Structure 1
Amino acid sequence: MSLLRRLSDLFTGSRPPVAEPTTVTVTVLVVGAGSTGLALAQGLKKAGIACIVVEKNESLDAQPRDWNMGLHWGTDYLRSLIPKPMWARIQSIQVDPSTPTTEADAIKFLNGQTGELMTSVPANNFYRLRRHKLRGLLAEGLDIRYGQILENIEYTPDGKYATTYFDNGSHITASLIVGTDGARSTTRQLLLGPAGSIRKLPYCASFIQARYTAEQALFLRQFHPLYLASINPAGYFSFFGMHDAEDPERPETWTFFFYISWHSPLEEQKATANWSNAQRLQQAKEFAKEFTDPWKSAYEWLNDNQEVWYMSLTDFDPGAEGHKWDNHNGRVTLAGDAAHAMTYQRGQGLNHSVTDAGNLATAIEDFFSGKKPRAEAIKEYEEEMITRAGGEVRMSTTNTAMVHDWQKVLKSPIMTSGMAKVQDIRAQEYRPRI
């Protein structure tokens, strides 16, 4: 029996028509080579399911900016998706490979003006991973097609296949298309139209990655070897941590990663949209004058030509009215930021994304093996994902508003519940008292 006939039998429970499609290239097509898409592709490869990943950029390194992400309660999902030898290398892609992940740790939250400790958020088995290195690790051994900019998706009338069309004239037909193409997902907008656009929030942040002299670097790192957060009564939230410490013996080569975020009305964002890098840097330095160390010195010591990465905060709630997409009989779905873009002051994004990848890999295995019809498996995946991650989108956005309001900050989710999964928080809230 041909591969096409076998796939059709699995998805429909009946023999296919004589005139089978001849352009089916792969069982699963993943759109977007971010951490979510690559983790999913590794899980499918592990299960023996054919998968192609397409990426709009010409390489994983095409974009110069890099950042780091926290992996904590989602660790088991990522571990389950990749081969054991690959997981054994997870330490090598941390911001400081020489500092092992500990079973018990905490992120300190300081008063940004006084340096007083406000709270310590448990960060047990907390991995601080460099995105660039994580993608490089997860890309190993996968079929990735670069320079593929998605333009359209069409669906066969028989309900079996979907075809993606790219700006270079190429196209790929698959039994399932998974959009993992980030917060500004093209896949999502093709499914939802204008309703698929990301929502801009009245908050902004300026990120910086910088190196210092050995003496300065040692001073800055003494506050915490990896990460530190603060909430400033003036209305700022900030983070400070390591980004790259490959050589622990040469502090002058360390790269620090830090930002300040603030309430910024949409009118203000529009008015400053064309600001130069010099203006962004000056603004950030002015904000930093309200801070104690390490932020105060870190900003004072920056060169005048220091690059600033400015961004508006955004979200996309898959559970909001009008955001439910048609998965076309289980032929297309979304995962990661494409499905649920969220703010980052609660550190949840990567954990929900790898959870999506793990759950979706299981759903794909279920219909590939014939255990469940494709439409049923994808529906179940989406219902769980929308409830779980949609709840986090809303909680993270609420948290972002509260940590920028000194009168509400102590009641914010990050201060009351740390980085726990939103469903765990709610279960605790409704647990009967004995």
Structure 2
Amino acid sequence: MTGAGFEVLVIGAGSTGLLLAQGLKQQGVKAVVYEREDPTTYQDRPREWGMTLHWGASYISKCIPPEMRPKLNEGICCDPFYGSKDLSLPHYNAQTGEKLFDMPGEEPRRISRRKLRNFLSQGVDVQYGKKLHEVALDDNGKVKATFEDGTHATGSVLIGCDSANSAVRPFLVGEEAAQLEDLDIQMFNVSSSFPRDVALLQRTGHPIFKNAYHPLGYMWWQSVMDVKDPDEPQTWLFQNILSWVGAPRAEDFPDQASRLEFWKEKAKSFADPWKTVGENLGDDLKFGVDRTTVWRPIDWSNSKFAGKVTLAGDAAHAMPAHRGQGLNNALEDAAKLVDELAAASRGDKTPAEALQAYEEEMRPRVLAEIPISIAQAQMVHSYDTLMNAPFFVHGMHKYRSDLAKQGKEVEIATQPKED
């Protein structure tokens, strides 16, 4: 089905799904986004975090309309008042406060997940409160999504952009193959404000972001999360992340007080500003223990949904956050899908050919990156291996070009054939 009859169902109103819908709208392709959360919880989640945008920025500009491009930085950056262009991200010895090195990147910017979603949702048809229950094919060869509220939607293709814990993925590859791999790396991730002097202290070294590594095996990421008034430091929001390998794990913390106590105790061995931040973590903070997970895209061409359903973003390739590649690859996914689906809408390709072309580009790209991000996540928690970590050589740049120069091939796992 092409032209006016071509419709794309997008599951998940995260960054990937919204950018995909924006790009398709510019191409005249009908796309509807279905989000499991209702409008209130979608907007007012108590938990917020930032992401590092670097080489993926060009894909946002490609997919949004021209009138939105001048408003991009103002609309999505954690500190819209910070006008400098950075070419690197500083890394420190957390015990001494000594700078170890600057990690190169392509004008990296710290952006707000919430701001990016709100920015990209402008003018896009988003249906909230639509938790996916089933994916099926109807008698007309269309793909049908049924939601837990009893409603359903049909389209030419369905794109799962619904996070690392994707509800679409099991329908495509099966429950067992859809499971995430646990790397046994634990993480506290919290955003909060601080007294004026502590807020100003956190913006020393670099006003936007910095990373620190402790010889005892801890990594502490620190970045500004939201600046509404540059003259009121006590109102600034900061994101702080502490991560480590192995125990203690989530089950080892009986309650919130024990998690906070652990963080404050570890902070005592850190230099400033991390030590002072630890001392000022509020007793009313609420945060859990996040686990670091991975999912590698397999070849699902044997699935009955092949050519009708595909995955993008974290749903297609969950990877550790320690090298900052997940978001940027997700944005490239969306842009590549826009090109392929626009071709299918025009009749230049069949939908199956369009999805196959996207998947054949996406899989080797992210399968080249995932082992690198895993290696980084593991090596940064061991001070002995820190200087051999991938970012020391490759920075935040896309890894695919390095792989091509080495002439290596990426092995893609194949889904078992269905009975």
Same fold (TM over 0.5): yes
Indicate conservation of the 8 Å contact 1:196/1:323, yes or no.
Answer: no
Aligned to 1:44: 24
CA distance in 2, matches of 1:168, 1:388: 37
Q: How does 1:320-339 map to 2 (within 5 A)?
A: 326=303, 328-339=305-316
CA distance in 2, matches of 1:208, 1:163: 38
Aligned to 2:415: none
The answer to whether structure 1 residue 34 and structure 2 residue 17 are counterparts is no
Indicate conservation of the 8 Å contact 1:202/1:264, yes or no.
Answer: yes
CA distance in 1, matches of 2:341, 2:301: 20
Percent of matched pairs sharing the same residue? 35
Letter in 1 for 2:158: I
The answer to whether structure 1 residue 351 and structure 2 residue 328 are counterparts is yes
Residue 79 of structure 2, aligned match among 93, 96, 101: 96
For residues 144-202 of structure 1, the C-alpha deviation after alignment (integer angstroms, 9 at most, x for no partner) is: 111011011111355x3110111111010111000000010000022222210212221
Indicate conservation of the 8 Å contact 1:91/1:97, yes or no.
Answer: yes
Aligned to 1:281: 260
Aligned to 1:143: 125
Indicate conservation of the 8 Å contact 2:250/2:289, yes or no.
Answer: no
Residue 318 of structure 1, aligned match among 297, 304, 308: 297
Indicate conservation of the 8 Å contact 2:314/2:330, yes or no.
Answer: yes
TM-score scaled by length of structure 1: 0.89
Aligned to 2:271: 292
In structure 1, list runs of 5 or more residues that go unmatched.
Answer: 1-6, 12-23
Measured after TM superposition, the shift of residue 101 of structure 1 is: 4.8
**1:25/1:149 CA distance change after superposition, 3 Å:** farther
Residue 302 of structure 1, aligned match among 241, 260, 281: 281
Aligned to 1:165: 146
Measured after TM superposition, the shift of residue 323 of structure 1 is: 6.8
Measured after TM superposition, the shift of residue 124 of structure 1 is: 3.2
Residue 375 of structure 1, aligned match among 345, 349, 352: 352
The answer to whether structure 1 residue 254 and structure 2 residue 254 are counterparts is no
Greater Cα offset, 332-341 or 370-379: 370-379
CA distance in 2, matches of 1:35, 1:213: 32
CA distance in 1, matches of 2:148, 2:301: 27
| Root-mean-square deviation (Å) | 2.0
Measured after TM superposition, the shift of residue 308 of structure 1 is: 2.4
* Partner SS state of residue 186, structure 1: coil
Measured after TM superposition, the shift of residue 329 of structure 1 is: 4.5
The answer to whether structure 1 residue 222 and structure 2 residue 201 are counterparts is no
CA distance in 1, matches of 2:316, 2:302: 10
CA distance in 1, matches of 2:250, 2:220: 23
Indicate conservation of the 8 Å contact 1:223/1:294, yes or no.
Answer: no
**1:211/1:37 CA distance change after superposition, 3 Å:** same
Indicate conservation of the 8 Å contact 2:172/2:306, yes or no.
Answer: no
Larger radius of gyration between Structure 1 and Structure 2: 1
CA distance in 2, matches of 1:83, 1:211: 35
Q: How does 1:147-226 map to 2 (within 5 A)?
A: 147-157=129-139, 160-192=141-173, 193-226=175-208
Measured after TM superposition, the shift of residue 63 of structure 1 is: 2.5
Letter in 2 for 1:395: I
For residues 251-270 of structure 1, the C-alpha deviation after alignment (integer angstroms, 9 at most, x for no partner) is: 111111111100025xx536
CA distance in 2, matches of 1:220, 1:255: 11
For residues 339-386 of structure 1, the C-alpha deviation after alignment (integer angstroms, 9 at most, x for no partner) is: 001111101111000000000010101111111122111111011111
**1:142/1:327 CA distance change after superposition, 3 Å:** farther
Measured after TM superposition, the shift of residue 297 of structure 1 is: 0.6
**1:98/1:426 CA distance change after superposition, 3 Å:** same
For residues 220-254 of structure 1, the C-alpha deviation after alignment (integer angstroms, 9 at most, x for no partner) is: 21221100011111111121110011210111111
Indicate conservation of the 8 Å contact 1:91/1:100, yes or no.
Answer: no
CA distance in 1, matches of 2:339, 2:9: 16
CA distance in 2, matches of 1:87, 1:32: 23
* Partner SS state of residue 141, structure 1: coil
CA distance in 2, matches of 1:323, 1:269: 33
Regions of 4+ moved over 3 Å: 322-325, 427-431
Indicate conservation of the 8 Å contact 1:410/1:416, yes or no.
Answer: no
Indicate conservation of the 8 Å contact 1:101/1:127, yes or no.
Answer: no
Letter in 1 for 2:167: T
* Partner SS state of residue 269, structure 2: coil
* Partner SS state of residue 260, structure 2: helix
* Partner SS state of residue 223, structure 2: strand
Aligned to 2:111: 129
Measured after TM superposition, the shift of residue 52 of structure 1 is: 0.6
Measured after TM superposition, the shift of residue 277 of structure 1 is: 1.3
CA distance in 2, matches of 1:235, 1:96: 30
Aligned to 1:411: 388
Letter in 2 for 1:295: W
Measured after TM superposition, the shift of residue 405 of structure 1 is: 1.6
Indicate conservation of the 8 Å contact 2:48/2:191, yes or no.
Answer: no
TM-score scaled by length of structure 2: 0.92
Measured after TM superposition, the shift of residue 430 of structure 1 is: 5.6
